Amino acid sequence: MEDFVTFKCTGRWLRAWFTIVLLCLSTDVPAQNQIPANNVNATQKRLIVNAMTDQEGAWVANAETNIYRSGTFENVTFGYSAKNDWDVNLSLLNVQIAGSNLSFQGEPFLNTTKTYQLNSGLELAFGTLNGFTPGTAGPVQWLYFHFIDFQYTPFEGIELHGGPYLANKAITGTSRQVGLQTGIEIDLLADRLALNMDYISGEHALAGANVNLTVNLTPLFQVYLGVLVPEANSGNEFAGIVGFNFSSHRL
Protein backbone atom coordinates (compact mmCIF):
# COMPACT_ATOMS: atom_id res chain seq x y z
CA MET A 1 0.00 0.00 0.00
CA GLU A 2 2.84 2.40 0.85
CA ASP A 3 4.49 1.72 -2.53
CA PHE A 4 1.17 2.44 -4.28
CA VAL A 5 0.80 5.77 -2.48
CA THR A 6 4.39 6.72 -3.34
CA PHE A 7 3.82 5.80 -6.98
CA LYS A 8 0.57 7.78 -7.07
CA CYS A 9 2.25 10.89 -5.60
CA THR A 10 5.20 10.53 -7.95
CA GLY A 11 2.80 10.26 -10.90
CA ARG A 12 1.18 13.53 -9.88
CA TRP A 13 4.55 15.26 -9.76
CA LEU A 14 5.51 13.83 -13.14
CA ARG A 15 2.34 15.30 -14.63
CA ALA A 16 3.00 18.63 -12.89
CA TRP A 17 6.61 18.73 -14.11
CA PHE A 18 5.66 18.00 -17.69
CA THR A 19 2.93 20.65 -17.51
CA ILE A 20 5.56 23.20 -16.49
CA VAL A 21 7.78 22.06 -19.36
CA LEU A 22 4.94 22.39 -21.89
CA LEU A 23 4.10 25.88 -20.60
CA CYS A 24 7.73 26.92 -20.96
CA LEU A 25 7.91 25.49 -24.46
CA SER A 26 4.75 27.33 -25.46
CA THR A 27 5.73 30.71 -23.93
CA ASP A 28 9.46 30.78 -24.62
CA VAL A 29 10.42 32.76 -27.72
CA PRO A 30 11.68 30.25 -30.33
CA ALA A 31 15.34 30.58 -31.21
CA GLN A 32 15.98 31.99 -34.65
CA ASN A 33 19.50 31.08 -35.69
CA GLN A 34 21.61 29.49 -32.98
CA ILE A 35 24.48 31.80 -32.10
CA PRO A 36 27.85 30.05 -31.84
CA ALA A 37 28.57 29.64 -28.16
CA ASN A 38 32.11 30.91 -28.40
CA ASN A 39 30.79 34.30 -29.50
CA VAL A 40 28.48 34.53 -26.52
CA ASN A 41 30.18 33.22 -23.41
CA ALA A 42 33.31 34.29 -21.61
CA THR A 43 32.60 32.40 -18.42
CA GLN A 44 30.71 29.26 -17.51
CA LYS A 45 27.52 30.30 -15.74
CA ARG A 46 27.26 28.64 -12.35
CA LEU A 47 24.08 26.98 -11.13
CA ILE A 48 23.61 25.65 -7.59
CA VAL A 49 21.26 22.68 -8.08
CA ASN A 50 21.79 19.95 -5.47
CA ALA A 51 20.72 20.28 -1.83
CA MET A 52 23.61 20.70 0.64
CA THR A 53 22.15 18.42 3.31
CA ASP A 54 19.65 15.57 3.64
CA GLN A 55 18.62 16.71 7.12
CA GLU A 56 15.05 17.96 7.53
CA GLY A 57 14.47 21.34 9.14
CA ALA A 58 17.98 22.56 8.28
CA TRP A 59 18.93 26.12 7.33
CA VAL A 60 21.87 26.20 4.90
CA ALA A 61 24.12 28.81 3.31
CA ASN A 62 26.79 28.73 0.62
CA ALA A 63 29.39 31.24 -0.57
CA GLU A 64 31.46 30.36 -3.62
CA THR A 65 34.09 32.27 -5.60
CA ASN A 66 34.89 31.39 -9.23
CA ILE A 67 38.26 32.70 -10.41
CA TYR A 68 38.64 33.07 -14.18
CA ARG A 69 41.52 34.56 -16.14
CA SER A 70 39.30 37.50 -17.14
CA GLY A 71 37.61 38.10 -13.79
CA THR A 72 36.31 36.79 -10.48
CA PHE A 73 32.66 35.97 -9.78
CA GLU A 74 30.78 35.37 -6.53
CA ASN A 75 27.78 33.11 -5.82
CA VAL A 76 25.72 33.27 -2.62
CA THR A 77 22.90 30.87 -1.66
CA PHE A 78 20.57 30.63 1.35
CA GLY A 79 18.14 27.75 1.75
CA TYR A 80 15.92 25.61 3.89
CA SER A 81 15.46 21.82 3.83
CA ALA A 82 11.87 21.43 4.97
CA LYS A 83 10.03 18.33 6.11
CA ASN A 84 8.59 15.91 3.55
CA ASP A 85 11.76 16.25 1.42
CA TRP A 86 11.19 19.80 0.14
CA ASP A 87 14.22 22.04 -0.46
CA VAL A 88 13.96 25.77 -1.21
CA ASN A 89 16.96 28.01 -1.99
CA LEU A 90 17.41 31.68 -2.85
CA SER A 91 20.58 32.46 -4.79
CA LEU A 92 22.44 35.40 -6.26
CA LEU A 93 24.73 33.90 -8.88
CA ASN A 94 27.50 35.06 -11.24
CA VAL A 95 28.21 38.42 -9.58
CA GLN A 96 31.45 39.87 -10.95
CA ILE A 97 33.61 41.24 -8.13
CA ALA A 98 36.96 41.68 -9.93
CA GLY A 99 38.36 41.93 -13.45
CA SER A 100 37.88 44.02 -16.56
CA ASN A 101 34.50 45.56 -17.47
CA LEU A 102 33.44 45.32 -13.82
CA SER A 103 29.67 45.76 -13.48
CA PHE A 104 26.78 44.24 -11.54
CA GLN A 105 25.80 41.04 -13.37
CA GLY A 106 24.25 39.02 -10.59
CA GLU A 107 21.22 36.85 -11.35
CA PRO A 108 18.69 36.14 -8.53
CA PHE A 109 17.24 32.61 -8.53
CA LEU A 110 14.61 30.65 -6.63
CA ASN A 111 15.33 26.91 -6.56
CA THR A 112 12.56 24.51 -5.44
CA THR A 113 13.07 20.73 -5.31
CA LYS A 114 10.84 17.85 -4.17
CA THR A 115 12.46 14.46 -3.52
CA TYR A 116 10.77 11.05 -3.30
CA GLN A 117 12.36 8.01 -1.64
CA LEU A 118 11.61 5.13 -4.03
CA ASN A 119 13.54 2.51 -2.05
CA SER A 120 16.49 2.28 0.33
CA GLY A 121 19.02 3.20 -2.36
CA LEU A 122 17.07 5.20 -4.94
CA GLU A 123 15.52 8.68 -4.83
CA LEU A 124 13.76 10.75 -7.49
CA ALA A 125 13.88 14.56 -7.41
CA PHE A 126 11.94 17.15 -9.42
CA GLY A 127 13.47 20.61 -9.42
CA THR A 128 13.12 24.01 -11.01
CA LEU A 129 15.33 27.12 -10.91
CA ASN A 130 13.70 30.38 -11.95
CA GLY A 131 15.47 33.72 -12.07
CA PHE A 132 15.92 36.91 -14.01
CA THR A 133 18.60 39.23 -15.31
CA PRO A 134 18.82 42.57 -13.48
CA GLY A 135 18.36 44.55 -16.71
CA THR A 136 21.43 46.77 -16.25
CA ALA A 137 22.77 45.87 -19.71
CA GLY A 138 19.46 45.36 -21.52
CA PRO A 139 15.86 44.27 -20.96
CA VAL A 140 15.01 42.03 -18.02
CA GLN A 141 14.89 38.38 -19.07
CA TRP A 142 13.36 35.34 -17.37
CA LEU A 143 15.78 32.47 -16.77
CA TYR A 144 14.75 28.89 -16.08
CA PHE A 145 16.37 25.48 -15.62
CA HIS A 146 14.03 22.53 -14.93
CA PHE A 147 15.34 19.07 -14.13
CA ILE A 148 14.54 15.51 -13.07
CA ASP A 149 17.27 13.86 -11.01
CA PHE A 150 17.61 10.17 -10.11
CA GLN A 151 19.86 9.74 -7.06
CA TYR A 152 21.28 6.24 -6.53
CA THR A 153 23.45 4.94 -3.69
CA PRO A 154 24.85 1.55 -4.79
CA PHE A 155 26.72 1.19 -1.49
CA GLU A 156 27.78 3.37 1.41
CA GLY A 157 30.21 6.11 0.41
CA ILE A 158 29.15 6.42 -3.26
CA GLU A 159 26.22 8.46 -4.56
CA LEU A 160 25.35 8.79 -8.25
CA HIS A 161 22.79 11.15 -9.73
CA GLY A 162 21.56 12.18 -13.15
CA GLY A 163 18.64 13.01 -15.37
CA PRO A 164 17.31 15.34 -18.07
CA TYR A 165 17.07 19.12 -17.96
CA LEU A 166 15.32 21.86 -19.91
CA ALA A 167 16.85 25.36 -20.04
CA ASN A 168 15.69 28.42 -21.96
CA LYS A 169 17.59 30.59 -24.41
CA ALA A 170 18.10 33.45 -21.94
CA ILE A 171 20.12 31.25 -19.55
CA THR A 172 22.05 29.19 -22.13
CA GLY A 173 22.98 32.15 -24.34
CA THR A 174 22.33 30.14 -27.52
CA SER A 175 18.87 28.54 -27.77
CA ARG A 176 16.40 26.54 -25.70
CA GLN A 177 18.22 23.33 -24.73
CA VAL A 178 17.33 19.84 -23.52
CA GLY A 179 20.24 17.86 -22.14
CA LEU A 180 21.67 15.73 -19.37
CA GLN A 181 22.94 16.72 -15.94
CA THR A 182 24.77 14.11 -13.89
CA GLY A 183 27.37 13.64 -11.18
CA ILE A 184 28.93 11.54 -8.45
CA GLU A 185 29.95 12.04 -4.81
CA ILE A 186 32.65 9.82 -3.28
CA ASP A 187 33.36 9.78 0.45
CA LEU A 188 37.14 9.47 0.76
CA LEU A 189 37.15 9.75 4.56
CA ALA A 190 33.81 9.23 6.28
CA ASP A 191 32.32 12.58 7.38
CA ARG A 192 35.65 14.32 6.73
CA LEU A 193 36.67 14.36 3.03
CA ALA A 194 34.63 13.93 -0.17
CA LEU A 195 35.10 14.26 -3.92
CA ASN A 196 32.20 15.80 -5.89
CA MET A 197 31.94 15.82 -9.68
CA ASP A 198 29.00 17.28 -11.65
CA TYR A 199 28.43 17.72 -15.37
CA ILE A 200 25.92 19.58 -17.59
CA SER A 201 25.88 18.58 -21.26
CA GLY A 202 25.66 20.93 -24.24
CA GLU A 203 27.54 23.69 -26.05
CA HIS A 204 26.34 26.76 -24.19
CA ALA A 205 26.92 28.96 -21.13
CA LEU A 206 25.94 26.24 -18.60
CA ALA A 207 27.84 23.39 -20.25
CA GLY A 208 30.80 21.81 -18.52
CA ALA A 209 31.89 20.07 -15.36
CA ASN A 210 32.92 21.06 -11.88
CA VAL A 211 35.20 18.94 -9.68
CA ASN A 212 35.44 19.78 -5.98
CA LEU A 213 37.29 18.35 -2.99
CA THR A 214 35.22 19.03 0.14
CA VAL A 215 36.60 19.04 3.70
CA ASN A 216 34.31 18.97 6.76
CA LEU A 217 36.05 21.28 9.22
CA THR A 218 33.17 20.78 11.68
CA PRO A 219 29.87 18.87 11.37
CA LEU A 220 28.21 22.17 10.40
CA PHE A 221 30.91 23.81 8.26
CA GLN A 222 32.59 22.71 5.02
CA VAL A 223 35.23 24.23 2.77
CA TYR A 224 35.87 23.06 -0.77
CA LEU A 225 38.38 23.70 -3.54
CA GLY A 226 37.91 22.76 -7.16
CA VAL A 227 37.87 23.66 -10.83
CA LEU A 228 35.25 24.45 -13.48
CA VAL A 229 36.04 22.52 -16.67
CA PRO A 230 34.37 23.90 -19.84
CA GLU A 231 32.66 21.64 -22.35
CA ALA A 232 34.24 21.53 -25.81
CA ASN A 233 32.82 24.18 -28.19
CA SER A 234 31.00 25.92 -25.34
CA GLY A 235 33.20 29.01 -25.42
CA ASN A 236 33.68 28.83 -21.64
CA GLU A 237 36.92 29.15 -19.70
CA PHE A 238 38.56 27.09 -16.98
CA ALA A 239 38.13 28.55 -13.49
CA GLY A 240 39.25 27.85 -9.97
CA ILE A 241 36.66 27.35 -7.21
CA VAL A 242 36.79 28.26 -3.52
CA GLY A 243 33.60 27.64 -1.55
CA PHE A 244 32.09 27.35 1.93
CA ASN A 245 28.97 25.52 3.14
CA PHE A 246 27.19 26.23 6.43
CA SER A 247 24.25 24.38 7.98
CA SER A 248 22.19 24.41 11.16
CA HIS A 249 22.20 20.58 11.02
CA ARG A 250 24.92 18.05 10.19
CA LEU A 251 26.22 18.30 6.62
Flag whether pLDDT at 226 surpasses 90: yes
Of all residues in the chain, the percent with pLDDT exceeding 90 is: 63
What are the distances in angstroms from CA 25 to CA 22, 50, 176? 5, 24, 9
Which residues, listed in sequence order, are joined to residue 194 by a DSSP beta bridge? 187, 214
Which residues, listed in sequence order, are joined to residue 182 by a DSSP beta bridge? 162, 199
Tell me what the mean pLDDT of segment 62-76 comes to: 94
Is the whole-model pTM more than 0.95? no
Flag whether pLDDT at 33 surpasses 70: no
HEC sequence for 169-228: HHHHCCCCEEEEEEEEEEEEECCCEEEEEEEECCCCCCCEEEEEEEEEEECCEEEEEEEE
The phi, psi pair for 79, rounded to 5°, reads: -155, 175
pLDDT digits (tens, 9 = 90+) for 101-127: 666 578 999 999 999 999 989 999 999
- Rounded CA separation 251/248 (Å): 9
Determine which of 33-47, 83-97, 164-178 has the lowest per-residue pLDDT on average: 33-47
pLDDT digits (tens, 9 = 90+) for 148-198: 999 999 999 999 999 999 999 999 999 999 999 999 999 999 889 999 999
- Rounded CA separation 109/59 (Å): 17
Residue 168 per-residue DSSP state: -
